[in-house]
Structure 1
Amino acid sequence: MDELEGFTRREKIAYFSMEIGLKNEISTYSGGLGILAGDVIRASCDLSIPLVGVTLVSKKGYFSQQLDEKGRQSESEKNWSPADHMTLMPEEVVVRIQNRDVRIKAWLYEHRSLTEERIPVILLDTDVEGNSPEDRKITDYLYGGDSRYRLKQEIVLGIGGVRMLDRLGFRISKYHMNEGHSSLLTLELLRRNEMDSGRVKDLCVFTTHTPVASGHDRFPYELVREVIEDEKQIEALKKYGGEDELNMTVLALNLSDYINGVAKRHREISEKMFPGYKFKSITNGVHSYTWVCPQFRELYDRHIPGWANEPELLVRVKNVPNDEIWQAHKDAKKELIDLVNRKTGVHMDYDTLTIGFARRMTEYKRPAFIFSDLERLRRVNRAGRIQLIFAGKAHPADIRGKQIIEELFAHMENLSDTIKIAFLEDYDMGLALKLVSGVDVWLNTPKRPFEASGTSGMKAAHNAVVNFSVPDGWWIEGCVPGVTGYSIGAGIDADRPPEEIEEIERDDLYNKLEYIIVPKYYKRRDEWVSIMKNSVELIAYYFNCHRMMRRYVTEAYL
């Protein structure tokens, strides 16, 4: 296979993820988990880490979001053609699903770095002649269908992925599971290693990304028996994945030698969720070059040569003149505001303090938190004009998430006489870059402690945008109050009643906006630009994927 020449000579780390955000045109991602996985590929390529990515082809995507005038979300397929971006490999493997042989083919995508290094990503596809119509659809939709569909996908990803790597000639030294979706790969490794769990643990690394119980896949054994059927495999799953139900996270925890959370706080939460297991922590980062807008790339190229492949050099941003930082930001902001006005007709302007919020629309992220007290918000706006930009999708099955979008649209209507507010539909990687670089303040208001890490604020900091966030996930580590940004409700005793915590956070949000953020933005521009520069110097230089991947290499892979 000429396409794989050079990729199979050295042993590789196999990085398994249900979703990988490779680029905007390839709809194999839904949100933060997939974008992080894509950044892992990009940073590993920059650093010449011998890694191969494994995921599903998901050629009908996650979904394309449409919103009507009331904010009611509808979904449609986000079809893309693998043949436009990658090569179909001639090899094929087989897995057993519901007592049928399901054939799997693979697409090879090559990521090429600025350094001309290359990393392969294998995308598994069951749309293969000879499979039943039902089985041909297993790899169509990212996170689509019911539990049965999801379990089939996880068999293809985990078991099929290991077999495909072997068939393609890869030699694997470590298997890194990015969340529990791929943890059935341990079942295949047990089979290959005569059920020796010690040998399997030596091969496996597991990263968990969620402190939310619903984020951990669980399957009743009645369903598992229907789909897998092999009683010997069921016994192994009960031994390592839970007696009462198959918990994919527990399966990975029991068969991995290295286990980590994605922030220091997340490590503590994970150990409480899964008593008896010891977690390490490697705080997430973002791929600097990917998430810096063109205006700041040009600025950094002039003043900090080499920053793209050594993002720690961004610490030198203190030498960049304030007026050049401000001009680059103004140019990025103009590009965003023009896009908003073109798409929504809200008629935002370039000089108003602009606050951005873009996340998956789900309840614990509290997208509507800034609208908790409309009179207080109007008071903030009287202190100095503000405008707000929102974006994000609700999972098709998340009824509450969809309701939140409708609530945001209602607030847009109610406040239209005083505050300009826009919601941009169909949030994706391209829109994300415009948002994290074009707003003045990046707002994040999750309910603690449900933010495992979060990476959008890191992207904002790379573009000298000021973070204003609840101290959870990475922001606990990144926030120096008034220096790198601002916290919402810092220092609250976690044992207080939830409604009391929320009241304190709400007061702090409005007070800091009215008395600190708005006045500093409008009346003390030099101090504001100083915080913008600190965001780059003290956040971007550290919270990047190059640092993150070096830690994975030295702590988990070697």
Structure 2
Amino acid sequence: MSQQFKIELDSVRDEARIAYFSMEIALHPAMPTYSGGLGILAGDMIRAAADRELPMVAVTLLHRKGYFYQRLDSGGMQTEDSVEWVVEDFLQEFPQRAAVSIENRTVHLRAWRYEVRGCTGGIVPVYLLDSDLAENAEWDRSLTHWLYGGDQHYRLCQEVVLGMGGVSMLRALGHHGIERFHMNEGHASLLPIALLDEQAERAGHDRVTQEDVEVVRRHCVFTTHTPVPAGHDRFPSELINQVLGRVETEAMKEVLLWDDYLNMTYLALNLSHYVNGVAKKHAEVLRQMFAQYRIDSITNGVHATTWTSPPFQALFDQHVPGWREDNFTLRYVLGIPPQEVWQAHDQAKRQLIDHVNRVTNVGMDAQDLTIGFARRDATYKRGDLIFRDIERLKAISAGVGRFQIIYAGKAHPQDQQGKELIQRIYQARDALRGYVKIAYLPNYDWPLAQLMTAGVDIWLNTPQPPLEASGTSGMKAALNGVPSLSILDGWWIEGCIEGVTGWAIGELPTSVSFEEERSARDAAALYDKLEQVVVPLFYHDRERFIDVMRHTIALNGSFFNTQRMVLQYVTKAYIH
């Protein structure tokens, strides 16, 4: 952080200068205000900002009904229930009110406050917007109930509440000195529209002009997390006109360059002075998708204190005091005696195995090599890649060394292919019975992620390149000395030092490939690496395996964290 900016921050410590907008934020394990990686990343970002005492405020939606609670039957069929939680147990309601216009109706909003406290005493307030007020129409009251629920109409109205309602609420709460508005993914892309309204009014313009656009652009920052075209929200012009109900919509088309569909990613790209992807490879892919825009990269990280298990926290406290305040000092983990590292890992592993056996009755053995795989069940993440050759897996387990696999993950309620993927994993579990123990843990959430990323021996990741924007679960595992065995995509291209921090599956792809042959090659490479390297190392050269564990913490844990990430946002996006 530059000295000039630090002085500026110190002088306005009590006044937010940065506003961070995200459709989902993981704030507390018992608050279902997130669905997965995007929300966890947002929460980790805010926790790191509080650690660094940045003058930040965050805005999201309340999500009274959460994402969903996952149930799995004996065959892996997923069903969903609403998540019930008591808002008042966690949040403070504020008396201020704001409003947005949706379909020419006034939708009133209130804000609930949650304070994120950092390790140095810094606080980042988070405001959760709530439309469930008696003065609103019944349908409008539900707009802040479900995370990623409903159809396009519901989604667009939610994005109006987040982006435009969020700006209105910040003003109502007295936040008038904000210099940077950070949009975490395209769900918040209507935020600059509210800023354009403010700017045009200040300038005395009766409609938005290019001059207004340039002023607003200087205040906006945009981070996109997906290289998948379907991940970028698009809404037809008729729906935009219907929901916004604004006379100036047609005039804005000229300035903001859209025609029959408004792509929310393009909207944010056009109205942001700084845009970034979330890994170096991801930014390369984005520059191909959006060639006319300048797109930088800031690789994701995870909040070290949140994702380091209690046994490793105690170990770091003893040998690397101050690691919470300065994650980079984790490089000194290389000096910790190997046996102490293994003892900390063994404690975390036994906690996980005990949980798995209680929940699934699989009878896993804490002495066996344990592989973890947990993420959203989307087909491009290829959670069943390892099961392409059941007989090969049996041969490795019987001839080289026993291993067991722990799975977790949710499929989106409308993603039938994702649900079928879970069922295929259940079928593989049955086919491998007696050779490889497999457990699928239901309702993957924050506490379960903490258990899994700390307790397995190897973290497996098998996305279809180049569709993994970044990924962060392997970073969480790294903080706990768990090496990754992963396809070279997303963050792992940057984090993999072969045989030092983990192992790559196959080679770095030189071109985009969606062919079936790609999966066949990747599966063969995975089997080879398991059979020839990972399993023998675990059982026959434990000293070398622990050395990989220590390097995983020292090299990847010390760098792929939100402390480093937030400082990069400060220097690249917030002070320029």
1:104 corresponds to which of 92, 101, 109: 109
| Aligned mates of 2:329, 2:302 — CA distance in 1 | 15
Does residue 354 (structure 1) correspond to residue 370 (structure 2)? The answer is: yes
Quote the offset at 1:99 in angstroms: 1.4
Write the mapping of 1:142-541 to structure 2, written as runs, cut at 5 A: 142-170=147-175, 171-194=177-200, 195=208, 196-237=212-253, 239-240=255-256, 242-382=258-398, 383-494=400-511, 498-541=515-558
- Equivalent residue, structure 1, for 2:26: 21
1:144/1:241 Cα in 2 relative to 1: closer, same or farther (>3 Å)? farther
Quote the offset at 1:7 in angstroms: 9.3
Does residue 73 (structure 1) correspond to residue 78 (structure 2)? The answer is: yes
Gaps of 5+ in 2: 1-10, 201-207
Provide the secondary structure at the position in 1 that maps to 2:316: helix
8 Å CA contact 1:466, 1:484 repeated in 2:
yes
The residue type paired with residue 347 of structure 1 is G
| Aligned mates of 1:277, 1:448 — CA distance in 2 | 23
8 Å CA contact 2:52, 2:118 repeated in 1:
no
Quote the offset at 1:495 in angstroms: 5.9
TM-score (norm. length: structure 1): 0.97
| Aligned mates of 2:549, 2:453 — CA distance in 1 | 13
8 Å CA contact 1:348, 1:387 repeated in 2:
yes
| Aligned mates of 1:491, 1:13 — CA distance in 2 | 37
Measured against aligned partners, the alpha-carbon deviations of 1:505-530 in whole angstroms (never above 9, x if no partner) come to 11110001001000000000000000
Number of residue pairs matched by the alignment: 553
Provide the secondary structure at the position in 1 that maps to 2:506: coil
| Aligned mates of 2:284, 2:99 — CA distance in 1 | 40
Identity of aligned residues (%): 50
1:53/1:7 Cα in 2 relative to 1: closer, same or farther (>3 Å)? farther
Provide the secondary structure at the position in 2 that maps to 1:407: helix
8 Å CA contact 2:465, 2:512 repeated in 1:
no
Measured against aligned partners, the alpha-carbon deviations of 1:51-109 in whole angstroms (never above 9, x if no partner) come to 10100000110000000001000000112122111111001111111111100000011
- Equivalent residue, structure 1, for 2:143: 138
The residue type paired with residue 485 of structure 1 is G
What is the aligned-residue RMSD (CA, Å)?
1.3
| Aligned mates of 2:251, 2:414 — CA distance in 1 | 32
The residue type paired with residue 297 of structure 1 is Q
Quote the offset at 1:273 in angstroms: 1.1
Measured against aligned partners, the alpha-carbon deviations of 1:450-502 in whole angstroms (never above 9, x if no partner) come to 00000000000000001000000000000011111000112343266733332
Provide the secondary structure at the position in 2 that maps to 1:437: helix
| Aligned mates of 1:25, 1:117 — CA distance in 2 | 22
- Equivalent residue, structure 1, for 2:6: none
Provide the secondary structure at the position in 1 that maps to 2:376: coil
- Equivalent residue, structure 2, for 1:3: none
| Aligned mates of 2:12, 2:248 — CA distance in 1 | 35
1:146/1:486 Cα in 2 relative to 1: closer, same or farther (>3 Å)? same
The residue type paired with residue 288 of structure 1 is A
TM-score (norm. length: structure 2): 0.94
The residue type paired with residue 168 of structure 1 is L
1:237/1:305 Cα in 2 relative to 1: closer, same or farther (>3 Å)? farther
8 Å CA contact 1:360, 1:393 repeated in 2:
yes
Gaps of 5+ in 1: 1-5
Does residue 555 (structure 1) correspond to residue 541 (structure 2)? The answer is: no
Does residue 47 (structure 1) correspond to residue 52 (structure 2)? The answer is: yes
8 Å CA contact 1:384, 1:518 repeated in 2:
yes
Provide the secondary structure at the position in 1 that maps to 2:106: strand
Provide the secondary structure at the position in 2 that maps to 1:486: strand
- Equivalent residue, structure 1, for 2:205: none
8 Å CA contact 1:187, 1:236 repeated in 2:
no
Quote the offset at 1:503 in angstroms: 2.6
